[in-house]
Amino acid sequence: MSVANTICIIGAAMLVALPASNKWGRLVGLWLCYFQGLGFSISLTIVSSNVAGYTKKQLTGAALFTGYCVGNIIGPQTFKDSEKPGYKSAYMAMLIGYCIKLIAVLVLYAYMWSVNKKRDRETTGMSDEDMQRTAVDAGMHDATELDNKGFRYIL
């Protein structure tokens, strides 16, 4: 996700920085922005593998999809007729959005990594079978990843 987002940032930066006369460079920058679809697909995978509890998983997926839809409604509004054909503010909005998304992904990764390390320290001395049994028992009761101390985030 971070790699795909970094590619999007490079593409948006090319659209912002390159002059209008550099048509091929700007076209390549636009092509690079299409990597954002990969990031969204991976975010759906993160929800399915790193959120536990049926209701929480459904609500998290719905919130993610709603945010995606709202972004797709707002995004085209940044392309102003008065800025044709350069659309500087729209490309700047894309660049800022990609940067915010990359920061959010890195913060989420750091959070999940630190929670995994903390839970590993807390379960030191327990056998693998006991940890798995505890995690499965909590999962059978539809516990969320916050309540299930045997749950580990997939990084």
DSSP string, 44-92: HHHHHHH--SHHHHHHHHHHHHHHHHHHHHHGGGG--GGGTTT-HHHHH
What is the residue range of 13's domain?
2-111
**74 within domain boundaries:** yes
Indicate the pLDDT class of residue 90, thresholds 50, 70 and 90. very high
Overall domain count for the chain: 1
**63 within domain boundaries:** yes
**50 within domain boundaries:** yes
Indicate the pLDDT class of residue 147, thresholds 50, 70 and 90. confident
- What would the pLDDT profile of 38-57 be if each residue is shown by its tens digit? 988 888 888 888 888 888 88
**146 within domain boundaries:** no
**128 within domain boundaries:** no
**58 within domain boundaries:** yes
**55 within domain boundaries:** yes
